[in-house]
């Protein structure tokens, strides 16, 4: 498989470059910048991209790279810091400027360049730098400039070395996608063959190779990643996959039923539905500390899971839906020739003593939206594949204070109304714009039950009941978020429905805090 390897120098949006390359149907992965030329060669890259990064090339702690990498005969594209590093390593000069260039800049093309072919002579590009190359290395051609940047793009076609000070991976660079295509297809001669259909074929073959005629178990959580993983592993090994669904009683309304329906009835996957609702309520009784709740729920999940796994007899493999950001964020490096270290934050498995399984992680190189696409291609229903994020500890961390059956029922009903109303709102926006996560679409939305009561009046009666907090945010990746600017009439109908339909609630309030300083969840 053709592959573009991105060396990550700590870029603000390190993964973005790989995503843009994949959008062009070429497989790409990110590796730390301190990779050696030999390690890199073992990955068999067809092209190398050097990312941006926050450092100055002259700073003491500045990340560098193995200079041998430039001499492997593989085409290289340096972006921003990546370009400055190329200049420095190849004998050019980088100047430390007092004033930086941040945001849109007008790029003027110089001499002919395959990299810039098909883009306007004068175009808007996105810049984010203080230092800049002041003199290109020997033999390089300067192919573009901006007012602040005498060398905004440079290249040495004979060596297939290319570089831009601006960021083609950022959408604000109008011709960014064209520039990346020029690099991938015109310069490196790659083929746009990385599609979800091909990914399925390759992964199915890989899983069959790993599992042989062994048996696999998988913990279904109700979320997207484990669901897609199950569908994919099932495609590869059929009935030799058993799914264990631990129902902790903290899922959203209708979710356990939908898991049963999709996996048991539609896909025909052997499914063990473990009703652990009572067990969880007992464990959580009186616990009000958020971290303690998380710990109890997480520990118990695996305890229940391994109890069930033990009953299944001889099973050698455990599949799980670890995805690429889990791997990158945990700093684990998974390179071709090296043993993998998995330290995924949400996915750390506490194997009991004496228990061991070989892990099957077929999604570990996919981004979230690719996992969704794969799910659709595998025939999973859209409402499952496009489900909004939902925390592993479920409704327990949306109940402030201790968890009781009554509170779970209340927040579940309120949450169902929030979802119904805002699903419909998002659908209206989708029909208007044709985009799933268009501006002002809600990305995540739910109800929170705080640990207070307030006075109200219903009919002629004074009430002393609970408020529900509505949380609805716009976001792309949960790292930052803003509260959704919902139309008043949408807010009004959510409020009216919750107080009208959910017994025990007499007030609805809207959380108007962004992340940071708040988080999306309340606990």
Instruction: Report the catalytic residues.
Output: 80, 167, 169
Q: Is residue 521 involved in binding ligand XMP (CB under 6 A)?
A: yes
Q: Which residue has the tokens 């803003």?
A: 482
Q: Which residues pair with 32 in a beta bridge?
A: 8
| Helices (H), ranges, 285-404 | 290-311, 324-329, 368-377, 382-385
Nearer to ligand XMP, 136 or 411 (CB): 411
Give the count of residues interacting with ligand XMP (CB under 6 A).
12
Which residues in 52-91 contact ligand XMP (CB under 6 A)? none
Q: Which stretch binds ligand XMP (CB under 6 A): 153-161, 167-175, 266-274, 386-394?
A: 386-394
CB of 52 to ligand XMP, least distance (A): 25
| Helices (H), ranges, 174-254 | 176-181, 196-211, 224-237
Nearer to ligand XMP, 119 or 444 (CB): 444
Cα 370 to Cα 5: distance, rounded to the nearest angstrom = 18
Which residues in 342-371 contact ligand XMP (CB under 6 A)? 346
**Distance set, CA 333 to CA 20, 95, 494 (Å):** 21, 33, 45
CB of 389 to ligand XMP, least distance (A): 4
CB of 397 to ligand XMP, least distance (A): 7
Nearer to ligand XMP, 294 or 333 (CB): 294
As a whole number of angstroms, the longest Cα–Cα distance in the chain is 87
Cα 236 to Cα 208: distance, rounded to the nearest angstrom = 6
Q: Is residue 322 involved in binding ligand XMP (CB under 6 A)?
A: no
CB of 475 to ligand XMP, least distance (A): 8
Strands 444-448 and 461-474: antiparallel
DSSP code for 426: H
CB of 157 to ligand XMP, least distance (A): 45
Which position among 53, 393, 394, 467 is part of the footprint of ligand XMP (CB under 6 A)?
393
Nearer to ligand XMP, 25 or 303 (CB): 303
Residues 6 or more apart in contact with residue 88 via CB below 8 angstroms:
57, 94
x/- mask, ligand XMP, residues 148-187, rule CB under 6 A, reads ----------------------------------------
CB of 202 to ligand XMP, least distance (A): 27
Q: Is residue 295 involved in binding ligand XMP (CB under 6 A)?
A: no
Which position among 130, 253, 368, 515 is part of the footprint of ligand XMP (CB under 6 A)?
515
Residues 6 or more apart in contact with residue 368 via CB below 8 angstroms:
224, 323, 325
Whose CA is closest to 54, among 109, 114, 100, 3? 100
Q: Is residue 325 involved in binding ligand XMP (CB under 6 A)?
A: no
Alpha-carbon torsion angle 250, 253, 258, 259, nearest 10: -10
Q: Is residue 214 involved in binding ligand XMP (CB under 6 A)?
A: no
Q: Is residue 504 involved in binding ligand XMP (CB under 6 A)?
A: no
Which position among 53, 176, 391, 467 is part of the footprint of ligand XMP (CB under 6 A)?
391
Cα 52 to Cα 14: distance, rounded to the nearest angstrom = 8
x/- mask, ligand XMP, residues 417-456, rule CB under 6 A, reads ---------------------------x------------
Cα 448 to Cα 388: distance, rounded to the nearest angstrom = 16
Which position among 110, 270, 389, 456 is part of the footprint of ligand XMP (CB under 6 A)?
389
Strands 132-135 and 93-95: antiparallel
- Whether the link from the prior residue into 471 is cis, omega within 30° of 0, is no
**Is residue 347 within 8 Å of residue 304, measured between CB atoms?**
no
CB of 128 to ligand XMP, least distance (A): 25
Alpha-carbon torsion angle 32, 38, 42, 48, nearest 10: 50
Cα 124 to Cα 167: distance, rounded to the nearest angstrom = 11
Cα 155 to Cα 326: distance, rounded to the nearest angstrom = 35
Q: List the structure tokens of 407.
A: 């509170």
Nearer to ligand XMP, 236 or 259 (CB): 259
Q: Which stretch binds ligand XMP (CB under 6 A): 145-153, 307-315, 487-495, 513-521?
A: 513-521
Q: Is residue 520 involved in binding ligand XMP (CB under 6 A)?
A: yes
Cα 217 to Cα 309: distance, rounded to the nearest angstrom = 7
Q: Which stretch binds ligand XMP (CB under 6 A): 9-17, 196-204, 327-335, 391-399?
A: 391-399
Q: Is residue 19 involved in binding ligand XMP (CB under 6 A)?
A: no
Q: Is residue 480 involved in binding ligand XMP (CB under 6 A)?
A: no
* Residue numbers at the binding site for ligand XMP (CB under 6 A): 294, 346, 389, 391-393, 444, 478, 515, 519-521
């Amino acid at each position: 498989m053709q592959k573009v390897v991105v060396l990550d120098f700590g870029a603000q949006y390190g993964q973005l470059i790989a995503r843009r390359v994949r959008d062009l149907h070429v497989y790409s992965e990110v590796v730390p910048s301190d990779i050696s030329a030999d390690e890199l060669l073992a990955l068999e890259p067809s092209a190398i991209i050097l990312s941006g990064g926050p450092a100055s090339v002259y700073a003491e702690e500045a990340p560098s790279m193995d200079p041998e990498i430039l001499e492997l005969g593989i085409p290289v594209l340096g972006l921003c810091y990546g370009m400055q590093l190329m200049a420095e390593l190849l004998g050019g000069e980088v100047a430390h400027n007092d004033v930086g260039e941040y945001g849109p800049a007008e790029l003027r093309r110089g001499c002919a360049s395959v990299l810039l072919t098909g883009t306007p002579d004068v175009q808007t590009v996105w810049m984010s730098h203080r230092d800049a190359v002041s003199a290109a290395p020997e033999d390089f051609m300067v192919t573009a400039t901006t007012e602040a940047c005498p060398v905004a793009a440079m290249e040495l076609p004979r060596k297939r070395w290319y570089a831009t000070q601006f960021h083609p991976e950022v959408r604000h660079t109008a011709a960014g996608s064209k520039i990346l295509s020029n690099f991938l297809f015109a310069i490196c001669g790659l083929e746009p063959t990385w599609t979800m259909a091909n990914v399925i074929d390759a992964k199915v073959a890989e899983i069959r190779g790993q599992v042989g005629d062994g048996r696999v178990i998988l913990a279904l959580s109700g979320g997207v990643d484990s669901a897609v993983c199950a569908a994919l592993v099932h495609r590869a090994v059929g009935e030799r996959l058993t799914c264990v669904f631990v129902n902790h009683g903290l899922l959203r309304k209708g979710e356990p039923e939908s898991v049963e329906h999709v996996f048991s009835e539609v896909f025909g996957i052997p499914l063990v539905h473990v009703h652990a609702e009572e067990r969880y309520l007992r464990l959580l009784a009186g616990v009000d500390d958020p971290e303690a709740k998380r710990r109890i729920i997480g520990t118990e999940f695996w305890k229940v899971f391994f109890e069930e796994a033990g009953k299944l007899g001889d099973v050698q493999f455990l599949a799980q839906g670890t995805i690429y950001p889990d791997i990158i964020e945990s700093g684990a490096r998974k390179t071709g020739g090296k043993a993998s270290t998995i330290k995924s934050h949400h996915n750390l498995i506490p194997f009991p003593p004496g228990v061991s399984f070989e892990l099957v992680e077929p999604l570990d190189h996919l981004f979230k939206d690719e996992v969704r696409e794969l799910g659709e291609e595998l025939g999973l229903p859209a409402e499952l594949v496009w489900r909004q994020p939902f925390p592993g500890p479920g409704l327990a961390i949306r109940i402030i204070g201790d968890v009781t059956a009554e509170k779970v029922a209340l927040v579940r009903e309120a949450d169902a109304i929030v979802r119904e109303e805002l699903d419909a709102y998002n659908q209206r926006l989708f029909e208007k714009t044709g985009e799933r996560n268009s501006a002002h679409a809600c990305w995540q939305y739910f109800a929170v039950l705080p640990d207070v009561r307030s006075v109200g009046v219903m009919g002629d009666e004074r009430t002393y009941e609970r408020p529900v907090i509505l949380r609805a945010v716009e976001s792309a990746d949960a790292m930052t978020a803003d509260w959704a600017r919902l139309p008043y009439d949408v807010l009004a109908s959510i409020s009216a429905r919750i107080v009208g339909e959910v017994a025990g609630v007499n007030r609805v309030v809207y959380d108007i805090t962004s992340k940071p300083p708040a988080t999306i969840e309340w606990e």
